[in-house]
Amino acid sequence: MLESLLGKWGYEVESASDGLEALQLLERVDAPPLAILDWMMPGLEGPQVCRRLREDSERRYVYVLLLTVRSQKGDLLRGLESGADDYLTKPFDEQELRARLSVGRRILDLQKNLIEAREELRFNATHDVLTGIVNRGVALHALQQEHARQIREGGSFGLILADIDHFKLVNDTYGHICGDEVLREVTRRMKGCVRPYDTVGRYGGEEFLIVVPSSEGLGALQLADRIRTAIEAAPVSTQSAQIKLTASFGVAASTSARPLTPDVLLRLADEALYRAKKQGRNRSEIGVSERNSLDPAEPGATPLKSGSR
């Protein structure tokens, strides 16, 4: 009878023959968000199913209406205390059931809207709205996390600072809307070069910070040069013009043989970026300490090459 009524009211119905089957159904990732549970069921009773559902606060919320012949006030309280959202006694009035289900749907819709609003606030608090990548604070936090991981486990990690060359000229010539298009496209090209677990963040203005786990100086330098090549490979198409771009990169690395703090890494990468700009832009340069430690004159060292125009 319930399946027939609910189908007539426009609900898509899944039914369970006992409490255990109901619990398994409601614990699924794609579980129905609204449930009508009989109090007395084989396996698990309705209140037991409610309690089990409410044990996991991370699970998607299910609005539960208990349906039972029990009509005493104490039963009502027990049912609600078990985690049920509403309670209806048999024999039930069809229109009352329909009205209570409508209330449940409204509550679920409100909850969905609140969750979406919370996620949007969280995203906006941790991401750059223009480019969609993480913001300065999150990128610096990723740097701190890599430093902490290195202290615990050893290994190496790299840091890259990237700056779009002559970006102010783009804004001055074509306007800030065009500049925004450029920033989004440069971000897309950067993300196409990095690994899924690398962190690409907007450091400020036209400057980006990339944290590169499990990488020594040479590997981070090679990654910077791949990104540099991807940026200059083709003009950026905007509504205003086809704009040729280049970028300059400063690299630093903290290795097991030469561990460095995040502050020192940032300073070295910033100095290397400044040097890349001074030497003609469209270059990838590495911090002085790391460059010296990989001097080609040293036995077993690998020469470092940076792109230039």
- Tens digit of pLDDT for each residue in 8-40? 999 999 999 999 999 999 999 889 999 999 988
Predicted local distance difference test score (pLDDT) of residue 80: 86
DSSP string, 22-61: HHHHHTSTT--SEEEEESS-SSS-HHHHHHHHHT-TTSPP
- pLDDT value of residue 104: 92
Q: What is the pLDDT of residues 32-79, one digit of tens each?
A: 999 999 988 888 889 999 999 998 888 888 999 988 887 677 777 888
Strands 199-204 and 157-164: unpaired
Q: Answer for the pair 139, 199: CB distance below 8 angstroms, yes or no.
A: yes
Is residue 206 among the annotated active site residues? yes
Residue 303 has pLDDT above 50, yes or no: no
* CATH 3.30.70.270 residue window(s) in the chain: 136-293
Confidence of residue 290 (pLDDT cuts 50, 70, 90): very low
Q: Which two tokens stand for residue 112?
A: 């969905």
Domain with CATH 3.40.50.2300 in the chain: 2-125
Distances (CA, A) of 192 to 84, 231, 238, 304: 48, 11, 19, 23
Q: Which of 185, 206, 216, 290 is catalytic?
A: 206
What is Dmax (Cα atoms) for the chain?
91
Contact 64, 85 (CB under 8 A): yes
Q: Could you name the CATH architecture of 136-293?
A: 2-Layer Sandwich (3.30)
Query: What is the band of 131 on the pLDDT scale with cuts at 50, 70, 90?
Result: very high
Q: Please give the structure tokens belonging to residue 225.
A: 């040069």
Q: Quote the pLDDT of residue 289.
A: 63
CA distances for 134 relative to 122, 206, 211, 212, angstroms: 11, 14, 12, 15
Q: In which band, very low, low, confident or very high, does the pLDDT at 91 lie, cut at 50, 70 and 90?
A: confident
pLDDT above 90: percentage of residues in the chain: 70
For residue 276, the SS3 value is: helix
Asked if pLDDT for residue 295 goes beyond 50, the answer is no
Mean pLDDT for 220-234 is: 96
Q: In the predicted model, is pLDDT for residue 305 greater than 80?
A: no
pLDDT, one tens digit per residue, over 159-217 is: 999 999 999 999 999 999 999 999 999 999 999 999 999 999 999 999 999 999 999 99
pLDDT in tens, 119-130: 999 999 999 999
Q: What is the mean pLDDT of the chain?
A: 89
CATH of domain 2-125: 3.40.50.2300
Q: What angle do CA 277, 144, 301 make, to 5 degrees?
A: 55
